[in-house]
Amino acid sequence: MSRSERSSPNDRAQSNVVGVALLLAIAVVGLGGLTAGIGAVVESNAATADAASVADGFDRALQPTETTGYHEGRVAFANGRIATEDRALRVLNESGVVATVAVDALVYESGDRRVAYEAGTIVRGRTGNSWLYEAPPITASRGSGGVLAVGAAQLNASEWTTTGAAGRSLRLSSRVSHDRRALGNGSYRVAIETPTPGAWKRHFDAQSAVRSTSGRLFPGDDHQSVVATYRGDRTAYLIIHDMQLEVNRA
């Protein structure tokens, strides 16, 4: 090898500099990806914390079956919005629909997180991945026959809430009254309109008094209803809990 073909100290120094620069570039790219990943985890945890806070706030502020008269509570969240949506609860016998209640729903949404208060029940999650945070106020004697008591928590919300609300803290105030109606003896079904049928279906399927569940879209509804068919003839009662809900900034 000739003298001219040998690498000089300058060449070796330049190679070292290039190597260090490449390592630094790789490290920066790696740190960028790590930072993005950490940011996504932090954001996801914050959204989960918000949803949990809202579910707990709904549970504390909205207690129509345990309250008569004035009651209030607060819901806090960092991001997202709360708005009312149309919902219906129906009671049917062998002849068809015997009672329809416009229960409506109070819905919190932030990204893929969702919490809904509907018909006295709190549902977390979306279609395909939903679960009950609070069970519905519907009770029935086990097996065939007996009694069926259908509690229908009706928001009867003020017009302000229909536009939704973005903010960090809201005051939910209600003035609850109750109306109990005897529906007589017969074979009954209860239908709940909801965009998260899985949570409701699993709940009803676990009840020994329920013979079967199915889905049905009623005229005028935005979503299908989960229909629970109860075993045998039974005496049914419908208890409407009128909440007269108002939502304001806290």
Secondary structure string (H, E, C) spanning the chain:
CCHHHCCCHHHHHHHHHHHHHHHHHHHHHHHHHHHHHHHHHHHHHHHHHHHHHHHHHHHHHCCCCCCCEEEEEEEECCCCEEEEECCCEEEEECCEEEEEECCCEEEEEECCEEEEEECCEEEEEECCEEEEEECCCEEECCCCCCEEEEEEEECCCCHHHHHCEECCEEEEEEEEEEEEEEEEEEEEEEEEECCCHHHHHHHHHCCCCEEEEEEECCCCCCCCEEEEEEEEEEEEEEEEEECCCEEEEC
| Full pLDDT tens readout for the chain, 250 residues | 544 455 555 555 556 655 666 666 666 656 555 544 544 444 456 568 889 999 999 999 999 999 999 999 999 998 888 999 999 999 999 999 999 999 999 999 998 999 999 999 999 999 889 999 999 999 999 888 899 999 999 999 976 554 555 557 899 999 999 999 999 999 999 999 999 999 999 999 999 999 999 999 999 999 999 999 999 999 999 999 999 999 988 7
